[in-house]
Structure 1
């Protein structure tokens, strides 16, 4: 916006470098340029200020495809002024000579013209194709068409405006149609997810079955080894029992042999003793018996001698007495 300082009958205008200022007097251009500073008389001057910087406007078009489906195109269009004097002659860019502000809204008029041309182009391009083709192709083909149309549009060239960029950020159907179009893809993805889930569960079941089979095989092997161990322990026990029985049999045989030898020796000794006693006289036998009896008795309190015993002793004594005389 230009800065105007009024000093009585004259005024000074100071403009920015991004604005093209045109001063008219009596319908003729007196001064024209960017960033001008000059004095003028307000009662005889008319001044226009045209912005020379690049501008951007928002594009939003709701169109219908060939198959009668609503499609929304959204983006931005960049434009600039290439001929400010021509533009000032076609669009009112005059400023208030007291405040320096634009009297009208010329930028909105230019953007309205741009929006009309772009909207008509988008409507025709979308209406020529079904919605599936448009969505599959994306916004790129439509952007190229729009860019070519706007750059070559006579309605813009004749007012000194040129399009510098066209961007389409969004090309989408209505929300209901978008959900309907998303359903097959969503269902396909859901089926893949379900298949993956089922495959994961089947793999988990297979792993669990493999683990159970491994555990069963391990238990079976342990049971078989336990059976072998029990059989081996039984065999070892039988071997130990047989060895023990054999050892006990050998020991019993040795004991029996020892007893037999001892008893044989004792029987032989008794037999010899009996043989010796057999040849002894009865008196001697009685004496030995008395001595043996005396050796087994601790004390003798009474001795009973019967007449029979005394008679037999005396009889034996008489028979042995003659044998002792020759000595």
Structure 2
């Protein structure tokens, strides 16, 4: 009984009749005789191969690498010659377990290349340079003849996680936490040092201000003292000028003038006492 097969546009279909290729192409459709026909369908769309590797770094530390490799079949005829991609035409189910093995082979090649890259770097560099690791792995895979011989092309390599073992992770966390604490302590020390320095500058400014004030006060005191001395000298000179005429007068005359002044201001004087000594002094005759 003749049957009809309609291929998917994303698959390269090959019709084998009695062991020979009768027709092939993408999304091929045809009538066929089931007893003498075999149908091979090789997918052309991209596929993803997930991977999780446990590798050793340059400083002999275990690192877990998790990611995904995206690939596509570039040469379907070559792939079909290496793996069995025959399908049941009606259900389009594969008749062998070969198709999933292609992803396994791609994963093995990815691990081979990535192992070389990981072993060149230390644990810390692997943890920090995940993007560089993925890019270098992709570049090397795209140049590998092994992939060309498989008829496969690598489209992308991405890493979702690069992490150490739990024990090493705890140690790294402890070191990082200690570094953060030291950094925080240093920041506190720096702030205190700046505060002390600012306080010292404030005290120096205050001291400089006090010194300037004291110097101004010293100048002011000196100026006041000089002014007072000048005033005293001027007053002494004025008093001397006033008393100069009396220096050549007879003392009795000066005394008489004093009593005369007292008499003129008697209303302002409440009482006056003349002692015998004063009276005898007044009665003395001046020497000739």
- How far 1:32 sits from its partner (Å)? 0.7
- How far 1:85 sits from its partner (Å)? 3.0
Number of equivalenced pairs: 248
- The question of whether the paired residues in 2 share the 8 Å contact of 1:20 and 1:51 is answered with yes
Describe the superposition over 1:152-173 as per-residue Cα deviations: whole angstroms up to 9, x where unpaired: 44xx666x43343564645442
* Of 60-69 and 105-114, the range deviating more from structure 2: 60-69
Distance across 1 between alignment mates of 2:173 and 2:83:
47
SS of 1:108 mapped into structure 2? helix
2:212 is aligned to 221
Distance across 2 between alignment mates of 1:225 and 1:150:
87
1:319 is aligned to none
1:42–1:212 Cα change, 3 Å: farther
1:13 is aligned to 6
SS of 2:66 mapped into structure 1? strand
Q: Does 1:164 align with 2:154?
A: yes
Describe the superposition over 1:75-126 as per-residue Cα deviations: whole angstroms up to 9, x where unpaired: 4434332432343354443445446566777653311232245446656886
- The question of whether the paired residues in 2 share the 8 Å contact of 1:10 and 1:42 is answered with yes
Distance across 2 between alignment mates of 1:70 and 1:147:
23
Q: Does 1:151 align with 2:144?
A: yes
Structure 1 gap segments, 5+ residues each: 1-7, 265-327
Partner of residue 48 from structure 1, selected from 40, 49, 52: 40
Distance across 1 between alignment mates of 2:218 and 2:115:
89
1:202 is aligned to 193
TM-score of the pair, normalised by structure 2? 0.60
Distance across 1 between alignment mates of 2:213 and 2:102:
93
Q: Max radius of gyration: which structure? A: 1
Distance across 2 between alignment mates of 1:237 and 1:161:
116
Distance across 1 between alignment mates of 2:211 and 2:124:
66
TM-score of the pair, normalised by structure 1? 0.55
Q: Report the aligned-residue RMSD.
A: 4.8
Describe the superposition over 1:128-177 as per-residue Cα deviations: whole angstroms up to 9, x where unpaired: 78965974996668955994699344xx666x433435646454422431
1:241–1:124 Cα change, 3 Å: closer
